[in-house]
Amino acid sequence: MPVKRMVSVLMLITGLWAMGICGYMLIEGWGLLDAVYMTAISLTTVGYTEVNHLSNNGRIFTILLITLGVGFYFYAFTVIAEEVMEGHIRGVIRRRQMEKQIARLKDHFIVCGYGRLGRVICQEIRDRNDRVVVIENDEAVVKEIEEEGLIYIQGDATKDEVLQQAGLERSRGIITVLGSDAANIYITISARSLYPEAFIVSRAEDESAELKMLRAGADKVINPYKIGAVRMALAALQPALTEFLDIAAHEVRDDLEIAQIPVGMGSELGGRTIREIDLRSRFGVTILAIKKRSQHLRLHVQPDDRLDPGDILIVWEVPRV
Specify the amino acid at residue 45. T
Question: How many Å apart are CA 103 and CA 245, to the nearest integer?
Answer: 37
**What is the CATH number assigned to the segment(s) 253-317?**
3.30.70.1450
Our CA dihedral for 256, 257, 258, 262, rounded to 10 degrees, sits at -150
Model pTM? Answer: 0.63
DSSP 170: G
For residue 211, the surrounding DSSP H or E stretch is helix 207-216
Question: How many Å apart are CA 224 and CA 230, to the nearest integer?
Answer: 10
Question: How many Å apart are CA 279 and CA 261, to the nearest integer?
Answer: 12
Q: What is the pLDDT of residue 321?
A: 40
Q: What is the pLDDT of residue 159?
A: 93
> Measured in whole angstroms, how far is the alpha carbon of residue 137 from the centre of its chain?
10
Q: What is the pLDDT of residue 152?
A: 93
pLDDT of the chain, 321 residues: tens digit per residue: 456 766 777 788 888 889 989 998 999 889 899 889 888 888 877 767 777 888 888 889 988 888 888 888 787 777 777 666 665 566 667 778 888 889 999 999 999 999 999 999 999 999 888 999 999 999 889 989 988 989 999 999 999 999 999 999 999 999 999 989 999 999 999 999 999 999 999 999 888 888 899 999 999 999 998 888 888 898 899 888 787 777 666 555 555 577 788 888 878 788 888 888 888 777 778 888 888 876 677 778 888 888 888 888 888 775 544
Domain 106-227, CATH among 3.40.50.720, 3.40.50.970, 3.30.465.10, 3.30.450.20? 3.40.50.720
Q: What is the pLDDT of residue 319?
A: 53
Domain 3-95, CATH among 3.40.50.1970, 2.40.30.10, 1.10.287.70, 3.30.56.10? 1.10.287.70
Do 72 and 134 form a contact (C-beta atoms < 8 A)? no
